[in-house]
Structure 1
């Protein structure tokens, strides 16, 4: 534990020192970007979800593009011919005119790219989940806080008017004190045998794609998309959807870190995330009863009689329930809420998730899904996977990042990088 704390202290000191040195020499220094001036942005990842992020900031100056797939990179370069092209994001960060970085890579490379960008003095937008391990999530959040740079986790549903209206209803007390929250996602991942390996396509730099994790033979089962199924790179449905669906609970109820976590699912596979999972969290709330938050995936659902929606979130209060998905919500039982008048809007509508980040950089403002907030949701999803993999109810110490009753959990909590990679 002393090593963990020493590492944190080092990150804090080095992040501040490095960022300060960078900021003194560029227009990225606080207050020197005019609100009317376009940012110079470097984008790590140019296909799939990453391309949507590039499109989200295309109104600024895209001055650098990075992708381990030369075909994707060339295609993106046609859209932004003025941008310099890289396959290695570490080389991209050496480009001095970059003000901010957008990261849309797989989970296992989020932390190394994000912390490097922050320590170089760049503002960062990174896709969800924020990291691949709990220790990385905490270090990313701490580094962002210490540097004072503007961050936003790519949880785009957070910016919708619908989510804001749901939060307003819950906060209004219309449901009474909330006792439970249930969140569920379909998105099952079939368990598969570990790939044996195959030749790497000539357009892919697989070593750069692996980044900090220990090498395994290349397979199209990993690149470009199915990496999320495998523990080595992702965390299955829970880490994929946790930030989207638990967001409403974190936002409206101001929960932070759980005290206990336990999970059930099919027998644990050493390599694959489970096709279904149920995770039960207890969140302490000073001065009131702890909150029960339950996660379901792979077709599992809470036992309440509910409309047959897809992904969903259910708030259970003393006066009633609220069921919501990404676009609609209903108060239950409906007869008890006949004539219900929604509370006045208290949360301003978003100008757009990417636009919030850009605006905050230019005007020295804040974002609504910064790495401190996004890191807590990321940790929750990752911790559920840890509880499942060790097969025990975890008693969680959020300050020390340890399972107090389960030392074997540490192997999944802490990041482990191959030689040559560190944060």
Structure 2
């Protein structure tokens, strides 16, 4: 996974003057107040045959996979804090301007950028996304949408106000198996679903901060990698590029890594939104790193397809071998209803008891096949069509995922008022938002 970025190449494009930018911001604010700030007014829609001009924040690992999903468009700018990664990707797109700082990239290349693809560490998701939205750009961002619960709400509201096309990088949402599972649940095949179990046998956690730092590689802009996070020394192999997820300052452990993928299925099938209560258990809370195993219990109020729902998450060393008496693989989802149960993962599903569902015929297909997760977003950038993981849907999903870590770190369950972003304990409320280094605030 790579990061942000600020060394510019000459682009030959016209740069907005400070006065022009102030005029744009003032005009945008007045239009927002009138409620008519459409995607066509901020990032002009293009015809189906015209290529979009894209800027990519992050160029390797997960970010590279996203670039592969959009490479048939026009990549006009690339950004990464690691010059080795940036140089390698620049050879693939030699005409793209290159930067280390995404703020500079969006400001300097704004005249010709239609949309931004963000594949950074979690703690840069919200700053990069907000900067793009404020510039009127469509945004594709990797999961989780943000690093904190409050950020997710801010981003979702900003995107809605700006009228930009958005998509969260939960690529499995576009695959057919998830669609069939949603159809089966919503058709009532399991009766009334009351409980859902979600588990991922993966562990991003553990470890202590190194006692001393190491020399920063010449290719890495460490200050920009830290971005909004508190300053700490670089430590070889402990953060960049692969281990940052285990550290609270940069990631959200296994829950943050995988929760949006697997919780997406019950969220979609049961039309969940905000939990009413969250509690968690695991090892002793570490101030620096996520737990190696975690269990989170969520309670959701009734929806129009289900009564009150209990959802339980397990990861790492807490991953079960059996769920509801059934031996299960390393990761998956189990829906528990009054008339049966269903296991599902990315590519398959199975109903229980097996004898009861031996002759089961799934309902007729009602959810159209996706044209592709990235393509959905690219189409939306052109014509304003809806995306299935827009920031309204995925913002609420991200909030729920991150509330699990809030419960764990605050060491007590809490009631949650999703409408007002309020926990009923002070310890939990303190973790809903965070402080930022100067220059990185979401304002």
Deviations 1:382-404 (A, max 9, x none): 10001011111111111221211
Write the distance in 1 (CA, Å) between the matches of 2:145 and 2:48: 28
For 1:49 and 1:15, the matched residues in 2 are separated by 36
1:48 to 28, 42, 61: 61
- Aligned position for 1:115: 130
The 1:238/1:15 distance shift into structure 2, 3 A limit, reads: farther
SS in 2 for 1:152: strand
Alignment partner, residue 440 of structure 2: 421
C-alpha distance after superposition, 1:151-174 (max 9, x if no partner): 000000100011111111111100
Aligned partner of 2:104 in structure 1 is: 91
Listed as ranges, the gaps of 5+ residues in structure 2 are 1-24
Q: Shift in Å at residue 32 of structure 1?
A: 4.0
Identify which of 145, 162, 166 aligns with 1:147.
162
Tell me: CA distance 1:160–1:215, structure 2 relative to 1, closer, same or farther (3 Å): same
User: How far did residue 415 of structure 1 move?
Assistant: 2.3
Distance 2:131 2:158 in 1: 10
Mapped partners of 2:27, 2:328: distance in 1: 48
Counterpart residue number, 2:313: 295
Structure 1 runs (4+) deviating above 3 angstroms are 13-16, 26-32, 286-289
Partner of 2:359 in structure 1?
A: 339
TM-score by length of 2: 0.88
CA distance in 2, matches of 1:69, 1:378: 27
Give me the TM-score of the superposition, normalised by structure 1.
0.93
Match of 1:232 in 2: 249
Measured in 1, the distance between the counterparts of 2:143 and 2:223 equals 23
Matches within 5 A, 1:224-373: 224-285=241-302, 289-299=307-317, 300-301=319-320, 303-373=323-393
Which of 374, 398, 402 pairs up with 2:422?
402
Q: 1: CA distance between counterparts of 2:397 and 2:193?
A: 19
Matched, 1:181 2:196: yes
CA contact (8 A) 1:323 1:331 kept: yes
Q: Distance in 2 between matches of 1:176 and 1:14?
A: 53
The secondary structure found in structure 1 opposite 2:431 is helix
Tell me how many residue pairs correspond in the alignment: 408
How large is the RMSD of aligned CA atoms in angstroms? Answer: 2.1
Name the CA distance, whole Å, in 2 between partners of 1:104 and 1:110: 8
Q: Distance in 2 between matches of 1:77 and 1:226?
A: 25
Q: What per-residue deviation string (whole Å, max 9, x for no partner) do you get for residues 244-293 of structure 1? A: 00111110111100000000101111111000011000000157631000
Greater Cα offset, 297-306 or 225-234: 297-306
> How many Å apart are 1:343 and its aligned residue?
0.7
> Distance in 2 between the 1:189 and 1:241 partners?
10
What residue in structure 2 maps to residue 392 of structure 1?
A: 412
**Aligned partners of 1:159 and 1:61: how far apart in 2?**
23
Contact 2:57–2:118 (Cα < 8 Å) also in 1: yes
Counterpart pick for 1:204 among 220, 223, 234: 220
* Structure 1 residues 303-344: Cα deviation after superposition (integer angstroms, max 9, x where no partner): 422233121100000000000111111001110001110111
Find the residue that maps to 1:336 and give its secondary structure.
coil
Comparing 292-301 with 145-154, which one deviates more in the overlay?
Answer: 292-301
Distance 1:133 1:32, change over 3 A: closer
1:29 deviates by 4.5
1:59 to 72, 80, 83: 72
Q: 1:416: Cα distance to partner?
A: 1.0
Report the CA distance shift for 1:163/1:251 in structure 2 as closer, same or farther (over 3 A).
same
Counterpart Cα distance in 1 of 2:27 and 2:192: 41
158-167 or 287-296, larger mean C-alpha shift: 287-296
Deviation at 1:14, TM superposition (A): 7.6
